[in-house]
Amino acid sequence: MTDTANIEETDANVDQSRKEAYFTAGQGQLIWSRFKKQRAAMIGAAVLILLVLSGFFAPFLTPYDPTIEGRNADYQNGAPNIPKFWDENGFSFRPFIYTFERTRSIETNFRWVTKVNKDKRRYVVLFPQGDEYTLLGMKFKTHLFGVDEGKIHLFGTDGTGKDIYSRTFHSINTSLAVGTIGVLIAFVLALIIGGVSGYYGGWTDSVLQMITDAVRTVPAIPLFMAIAAFIPDTVSSEGRFFIISIILGFIGWPTLARRVRTHLLTERNQEYVLAAQLCGASSRHIIGRHLLPSFTSYIIVDLIISFPYMVLSETALSFIGLGLKEPVNSLGVMLQNVTKADVLLNYQWNFIPVLFFITLVLAFVFVGDGLRDAADPYADTKK
């Protein structure tokens, strides 16, 4: 048995356990170890997880209800309140903000004018009780931070006095939710249509591909305009939300379906599939044991890469007024506010959600790219 003896001998030269770990690593583990080595992807993943969690825990992290109930009528279009530690009145460990008073008088020509009162400080408090909210089915009142008197607006307020900071975080949640539903619907459709197309080939494939191409060529904006016109205003914002998600899913499946089909067509001709067929394996066995696992990694990558497109689509639609509308919190809706010249010139803090939006999309893209690079070289190096 010289062969095994030699294997033992060369193994002894290196760290035995490390080698063994490589040899026994399944596909998922190999991909993860490759993914870990990419800095951009890991940072993207961290940012992504952070944003998703902050979207999920938004009611806790933000001090006020982002709807009309939480608005600050006294502080509309107000600039961001940055907490300070120090001013001419002295240093303070606890961060504070100034009080803003709105007055109207003959001197101001009867226009509302906001004045800063530097003497009256409002201190930032942690874990105050605030507006009630529901999280995971339970009701809470505690928020992460607030001020002892009045309200604090880290990102300022919009035209109706709603806190932009609170709205931003809630909107991440909304956009992600719409994106998730859209991606899921697209994915299920893509799996079924692309799967049948790729597995059976022949006429089935040709017909299904024609349908796929037809759907793909449908121009999105006119379609949405038509559907938006059909959705009656009486539909609640949640209802509108679901309809938009479903529509996005129905538009998004062709690209995914094509990818699924390509993966299947390649995998179907792999020799190990033929080997299984020559054992008399049923189609079900081949699909379950060989084909599905083979492209799970690709599909996960495709899903993650599709996500930002869904979010972008929803944002774009809401931005032009065809998607979600006020008072729903979504990034697209918030961006709608920015279109007014008044806002552009005077109330630039309305742009802050844009930064979040860019970060979110970039994070998705980096993670998706990193995963794709990690999953791709799984086809073994040939000698």
User: Quick check: 289 binds other proteins (CB under 8 A)?
Assistant: yes
The helix (run of H) or strand (run of E) holding residue 147 is strand 145-147
Q: Please identify, using beta-carbon distances, which residue of 51 and 273 lies nearer to other proteins.
A: 273
What is the CA angle 65-360-30, rounded to 5? 130
Return the residue of 233, 280, 341, 345 that touches other proteins, per CB under 8 A.
280
Say whether residue 294 binds other proteins (CB under 8 A).
yes
User: Cβ closer to other proteins: 24 or 109?
Assistant: 24
- Which one, 139 or 284, has the nearer CB to other proteins? 284
Distance from chain centroid for Cα 255: 19
Binding test (CB under 8 A) with other proteins, winner from 40, 82, 235, 275: 275
143 touches other proteins (CB under 8 A): no
Alpha helices, H only, 278-351: 283-286, 292-319, 331-337, 341-346
Judged by CB under 8 A, does residue 284 bind other proteins? Answer: no
Cα 167 from Cα 163, distance rounded (Å): 6
Which H or E element spans position 149?
none
271 in contact with other proteins (CB under 8 A): yes
Within residues 6-65, the interface with other proteins by CB under 8 A covers 6-7, 9-10, 13-14, 20, 22-27, 30, 37
Q: Which residues of 33-42 are buried (b: 16+ CB within 10 A; e: fewer)?
A: ebbeebeebe
Contact 27, 293 (CB under 8 A): yes
| Residues contacting residue 274 through CB under 8 Å, at least 6 positions apart | none
CA angle at 47 for the pair 42 and 52, rounded to the nearest 5°: 125
Q: State which H helix or E strand residue 84 sits in.
A: strand 84-87
By CB under 8 A, tell whether 119 contacts other proteins. Answer: no
By the rule CB under 8 A, 3 interacts with other proteins = yes
Q: Does 378 bind other proteins (CB under 8 A)?
A: yes
Among residues 290, 298, 310, 374, the one that binds other proteins under rule CB under 8 A: 290
Cβ at position 283, least distance to other proteins in Å? 12
Helix (H, G, I), strand (E, B) or coil at 63: coil
CB nearer to other proteins: pick between 247 and 291: 291
Min. distance of Cβ 16 from other proteins in angstroms?
11
2 binds other proteins, rule: CB under 8 A:
yes
Structure tokens at 229: 């016109």
Work out whether 277 is an interface residue with other proteins (CB under 8 A).
yes
CA distance 276 to 293: 15
Shortest spacing between CB 366 and other proteins, in angstroms: 19
Of 28 and 159, nearer to other proteins (C-beta) is 28
Is the Cβ of residue 85 or residue 272 nearer to other proteins in the bound state?
272
Q: CB of 187 within 8 A of CB of 257?
A: no
**Nearest CB to other proteins, comparing residues 3 and 69:** 3
123: its two tokens: 């201190």
Q: Which amino acid is at 227?
A: I
Task: Note whether 71 and 88 are within 8 A (CB).
Answer: no
CB of 190 to other proteins, least distance (A): 22
Size of the site for other proteins (CB under 8 A): 40
- Least separation in angstroms between CB 11 and other proteins: 8
Nearer to other proteins, 25 or 358 (CB): 25
Q: Is there binding between residue 102 and other proteins (CB under 8 A)? A: no
Position 285 contacts other proteins (CB under 8 A) = yes
* Residue recorded with tokens 């022949």: 202
Distance CA 137, CA 124 (A): 29
Length of the chain: 383
| Interface contacts to other proteins, rule CB under 8 A | 1-4, 6-7, 9-10, 13-14, 20, 22-27, 30, 37, 270-272, 274-281, 285, 289-290, 293-294, 378-380, 382-383
